[in-house]
Amino acid sequence: MLRFLNHSFKKAVVLLTLLTGYGHAQCTTRRCLAEMLIKKEYLSQPQTENCTQNIFVKFLEYQTLSVDTKSLLLISRLRATLEWTDPDLAWNTSVYQFNEVILPVSKIWSPELHVTNGITTEMSHSSPDLLANSKGTVIHSVIINAQVICEVNLFNYPFASDKCPVAIQGWSRMGCGTNLVFGELKTVIASSGEWETGNATLERKRSDRNFILVPLSIKSTQPFITLVLPSILIVIADAVSFALPLGGGERNGFKVTLVLSFTMFLIILNDELPGDGECSPIIRFHFCCCLVILVVSMLWSMVMTRLFAEGRFGLFRQSKGPVSGNAGGGNAKEDEEVKAEVGVDVLGGVKEDGQILKKVVNFLEAIDGKTRESDRNQRFASKLDHIFFWFYLNSGIATLPTSNSVMVALTFSVLHRMF
């Protein structure tokens, strides 16, 4: 009986040995090895003694997709090549003659990256597969799309430039989680609307706070042509309109048209102008100066037209009553009497030449007095108009270049939101 048991045990050992050798012989392909690793179902993070897994970001590519100037949002795209070590995914190359295999990313654990100062962050895998080697090293690429609130200093708009931080890190809690170790950073230099991106740099706030500092600047040519230049040209057109005569109303009509056109221009641009942020853009002060200059010029032209025509600055036109009750009716009444008397003398046959001549002279002198008074009023109005024109021109020359110089040269620093 003992000999029978001993013989059976030897057969079992031989059979197990053959089966083991047969199993090893079956995994002669990469796919077989991959299926063996998948069946382990290691979906949790590799656990080490210090509860932290180092993730090497061998390559990080940053690209600015767009900048929402109105809402101060930076929309960016990051592509990262990650590398980490999972000892449980290692194998013996003397048994399995392969150094790398391809595994589906959904069947093993992979790290997640977050943009911590973003209002929305979406991470996706660049491929449904990843690469694992015999030492347990795993290589994978991910894509992150994020929207970051970037309080860009727009005081100098449209000549603004600033730097915006994009904080990137992995998951960690109370000393456990992932620790990112960065390698090469590449910036995709491209224009995003009216903004352009400079060379981004990797910065570190503390051991677990890494961020990409993105330089942003506005391409000032288009905003200058569409915003600043039209306002300057409208003010120049208003200055040239002083060449139009005061009488007739052509100048007033032209200036009113300019004011209304500029007002509509500002209403249309209201949705295009940047938000306030911490520093309100000085271009608003520029538009305010232009509008004030145009309105003051229009009102002045109206007052001068009244002075040119009637010789006074009154805001209200005095209504004319009966001829006998007119305040200036002395001369008018005398003129009517002269006309009546001349008519009576002619019709009545009165031939007193001396009286007729005297009355005619008085009539002509009254007309000449009115003409001289009108000329005097017109010269006075024209003189005041010329004085105001030079004051207006000098003020415009001082104000507009100064505001544009401030837009270019004066800068303020903005404390960006901490994360």
Residue with tokens 């990262």: 80
- The predicted model gives 235-251 an average pLDDT of 86
Q: What percent of the chain has pLDDT over 70?
A: 77
**What is d(CA 195, CA 192) in angstroms, rounded to the nearest whole number?**
5
Which phi and psi (to 5°) does residue 240 adopt?
-70, -25
Q: pLDDT tens-digit profile of 365-403?
A: 777 777 777 777 778 888 888 888 888 888 878 777 777
- Which two tokens mark 264? 């509509």
**What is d(CA 239, CA 219) in angstroms, rounded to the nearest whole number?**
30
**What is d(CA 102, CA 30) in angstroms, rounded to the nearest whole number?**
8
CB 83 within 8 A of CB 138: yes
- Of 144, 76, 155, 222, nearest to 412 by C-alpha is 155
pLDDT at residue number 29? 85
pLDDT at residue number 144? 93
CB 338 within 8 A of CB 363: yes
pLDDT at residue number 415? 56
Q: pLDDT tens-digit profile of 99-128?
A: 899 999 999 999 988 898 888 889 999 889
Residue with tokens 């590398």: 83
**Above 60 in pLDDT, residue 44?**
yes
Q: pLDDT tens-digit profile of 319-333?
A: 544 444 444 444 555
- Which two tokens mark 161? 């430039």
pLDDT at residue number 14? 39
Per-residue confidence band for 355, with pLDDT thresholds at 50, 70 and 90: confident
Beta bridge mates, 184:
59
- The predicted model gives 407-412 an average pLDDT of 66
**Above 80 in pLDDT, residue 38?**
yes
**Above 90 in pLDDT, residue 83?**
yes
**What is d(CA 185, CA 214) in angstroms, rounded to the nearest whole number?**
12
Distances in whole angstroms, Cα of residue 120 to Cα of each of 145, 148, 268, 279: 8, 7, 31, 25
pLDDT at residue number 70? 79
Cβ-based burial of 219 (10 A; exposed 0-12, middle 13-18, buried ≥19): middle
Kindly write down the DSSP assignment for every residue of 105-129, as one continuous string.
GGGS----EEETTEEEEEEEESSSE
How many residues are present in the chain? 419
Pairing of strands 52-68, 118-125: unpaired
Q: pLDDT tens-digit profile of 264-295?
A: 888 888 777 766 656 677 788 888 888 998 99
Cβ-based burial of 397 (10 A; exposed 0-12, middle 13-18, buried ≥19): exposed
- The predicted model gives 135-160 an average pLDDT of 87
**Above 70 in pLDDT, residue 17?**
no
- Of 306, 316, 312, nearest to 246 by C-alpha is 306
Q: What percent of the chain has pLDDT over 90?
A: 15
pLDDT at residue number 139? 93
Q: pLDDT tens-digit profile of 300-322?
A: 888 888 888 776 665 555 554 44
pLDDT at residue number 163? 87
Q: Is the pTM of this model over 0.85?
A: no
**What is d(CA 129, CA 131) in angstroms, rounded to the nearest whole number?**
7
Residue 125: count other Cβ atoms within 10 Å of its Cβ. Answer: 14
- Which two tokens mark 320? 């004319």
**What is d(CA 361, CA 364) in angstroms, rounded to the nearest whole number?**
5
**Above 60 in pLDDT, residue 169?**
yes
Helix axis angle, 283-310 relative to 353-409, nearest 10°? 180
Distances in whole angstroms, Cα of residue 94 to Cα of each of 24, 28, 91, 99, 417: 11, 12, 9, 10, 55
- Which two tokens mark 395? 């003020």
Over the chain, what is the mean pLDDT? 78
Q: Which amino acid is at 352?
A: E
